[in-house]
Structure 1
Amino acid sequence: MPQPARQFERSAWPERFAQSAQQSARRFADCRRARNRVLALRRTAVIAAAIGIVLAGLVGLGRFMGVGPFAGHIPEARYSAESWNLTVVNRWHRIPDAYPEPDLTRLRNGEQVDSRIYPDLQRMFDAMRADGLNPEVSAGYRTRATQQRILDEKIEAYWSEGVPRAAARTKALETVAVPGTSEHELGLAVDVNAAGMNDAAANQKVYAWLAEHAAQYGFVLRYPDGGTAVTGVAYEPWHYRYVGVQAASAMCANDLTLEEYAGAM
């Protein structure tokens, strides 16, 4: 009888070993699955963070430069019918939806301006002519479609020079506003140069006169030299914006941009 018992003990050992091995394998598999889940969660978190950073960058770029699918989310500028002349439109603030279509006056050369600024514009031009200058409005009111065409043409010009399409758009936006963010669409901005002349000296005389006298007629140099960080636009000695005589005088006396003046009100 003892002999069979010893045989049973010897034959049971492989079975117990096999069971132990299976349990170890299951534990190993469970640990591996758990580790894989942790790694997957970490990868997901990293990817989500990266996507968040990219989206934030695109939104920021879209708002600053009007680039990409987020350009349309530029916030509206503040608007009040009582202070229409102080509406601040720039690359960070688009024309408000509530801003009315301007009633326009056509100038002799075909350009148009908001009828409310025409009397002061005419008085200013009369004074310039009395001082021996011959100014003209080379750019006044623009429709949204016209602004888009100007931007598209600038992009195409850079692209034809070999600049990649995305870079061409970025470069174009350094000098051309995104449609919906141009003051020309308000009808309150004018580009003033010497009439019919591609003469740098004649233009400089016009710019010098405007810099000294324009505020008396309610116009201010919209993009002054050194003001790009505030206005978002490089120096343009020809671009003048109507704000009214009172505001223009205060802005000139205190060396303020429209952003700074309107923000302090």
Structure 2
Amino acid sequence: MLPVPNEGHRRRQKQRRRRFPWGSIATVILVVAVCVYAFTLFGDKESPENSQVNDTTTQGPDDVQVGLLDESSPQNTQTVNDDTDWNLLLVNYENAIPENYEPKLVEVPGGEKVDERIYDPLMEMLEAAKEGNWDQLPMVVSGYRTQKKQQQLYDDKVAGYRKEGNSQSEAEELAKQWVSVPGYSEHQIGLAVDINGATYDLYFWLQENSYKYGFIFRYPGDKTDITGVAEEVWHYRYVGVEAATEMYEKGLCLEEYLAERQAEQ
């Protein structure tokens, strides 16, 4: 026969059954809190939705830059990175001269100045043009122009059209066909020259032979819709013999040549 527990023993058993496991619950809560905190700090940052794409190694010329762009940085700004592309710098009504562009100038016969890198081929071309037995030797009548000079020429052209009865806006549009807006003229980079001679035949000779010396007939009449400039038989631009030869053979202006070159890259 089992012994009958006394009253004190019964009370101790009841107390054991009623005691709540607070220590275990506190431990569980602490572990959960630590997990939540850790997930908040490190969780989900490498998921495809939250990660940034920085790989730009497979872009083509027409691809959009992937990633974050600094909106404060200038867009569409031309730069001449090295000595391999200076001769192909595009300056026209849409492309301004790069900021702080300063050519190294040298004087040519007649007092005009040009970029020193085109001096030798320019002199060779003018010397070769003497074979035409012109009454007057061809010479550079306009080379490098300062911003002030270009502004003066542009303003004078606008004023002339204003005297003809055109409005200010009409005069400006007409003037742009003959004189580039200051900051958008090839003359301001020292790579372009206006050449004059005694007869018009000089220009036929230049159109057929200038490429041999690295120069192009910059503004043909049939390219006005591309260049934005009316025909100027006197205006020649240095681009280098290789580029000039290709443009001559294909009948391209500088804008077309550069577009074709970019498409091939």
Q: Under TM normalisation by the shorter chain, which class is it?
A: 0.5 to 0.7
Aligned to 2:258: 262
Separation (CA, whole Å) in 1 of partners of 2:221 and 2:161:
25
Question: Would you say the 8 A contact 1:251–1:258 is kept in 2?
Answer: yes
Question: Would you say the 8 A contact 1:123–1:217 is kept in 2?
Answer: yes
Separation (CA, whole Å) in 2 of partners of 1:182 and 1:173:
11
Of 213, 216, 220, the residue aligned with 2:216 is 220
Q: Which amino acid aligns with 2:106?
A: T
Unaligned runs of 5+ in 1: 1-72
Separation (CA, whole Å) in 1 of partners of 2:164 and 2:246:
44
Greater Cα radius of gyration, structure 1 or 2 = 2
Secondary structure class of the residue paired with 1:95: coil
Of 95, 98, 123, the residue aligned with 1:96 is 98
CA shift, 1:74, in A, is 10
- With over 3 angstroms needed to count, the CA separation of the structure-2 counterparts of 1:170 and 1:259, relative to structure 1, is same
Aligned to 2:89: 87
Q: Which amino acid aligns with 1:169?
A: E
- With over 3 angstroms needed to count, the CA separation of the structure-2 counterparts of 1:110 and 1:222, relative to structure 1, is same
Question: Residues 83-118 of structure 1: CA distance to partner in whole angstroms, max 9, x if unpaired?
Answer: 10000110011111153x111111221111111000
Question: Would you say the 8 A contact 2:176–2:229 is kept in 1?
Answer: no
Of 142, 145, 149, the residue aligned with 1:142 is 145
Secondary structure class of the residue paired with 2:220: coil
Secondary structure class of the residue paired with 2:150: helix
CA shift, 1:148, in A, is 0.5
Counting aligned pairs with the same residue, the percent is 44
Question: Residues 106-153 of structure 1: CA distance to partner in whole angstroms, max 9, x if unpaired?
Answer: 122111111100000000111111331310111110011110010111
- With over 3 angstroms needed to count, the CA separation of the structure-2 counterparts of 1:145 and 1:238, relative to structure 1, is same
Of 154, 157, 166, the residue aligned with 1:154 is 157
Q: Which amino acid aligns with 1:102?
A: P
- With over 3 angstroms needed to count, the CA separation of the structure-2 counterparts of 1:227 and 1:115, relative to structure 1, is same
Give the alignment's TM-score, normalised by structure 2: 0.66
Asked if 1:185 is matched to 2:208, the reply is no
- With over 3 angstroms needed to count, the CA separation of the structure-2 counterparts of 1:222 and 1:74, relative to structure 1, is farther
Q: Give the alignment's Cα RMSD to 1 decimal.
A: 1.8
Question: Residues 3-22 of structure 1: CA distance to partner in whole angstroms, max 9, x if unpaired?
Answer: xxxxxxxxxxxxxxxxxxxx
How many pairs align? 185
Aligned to 1:109: 110
Select the structure that is richer in helix.
1
Asked if 1:211 is matched to 2:212, the reply is no
CA shift, 1:164, in A, is 2.3
Separation (CA, whole Å) in 1 of partners of 2:240 and 2:228:
22
Question: Residues 214-258 of structure 1: CA distance to partner in whole angstroms, max 9, x if unpaired?
Answer: 000000001112111221112111111000111111111111111
Separation (CA, whole Å) in 1 of partners of 2:184 and 2:160:
21
- With over 3 angstroms needed to count, the CA separation of the structure-2 counterparts of 1:223 and 1:76, relative to structure 1, is farther
Unaligned runs of 5+ in 2: 1-73
Question: Would you say the 8 A contact 2:217–2:235 is kept in 1?
Answer: yes
Separation (CA, whole Å) in 1 of partners of 2:169 and 2:175:
10
Separation (CA, whole Å) in 1 of partners of 2:76 and 2:176:
18
Q: Which amino acid aligns with 1:104?
A: L
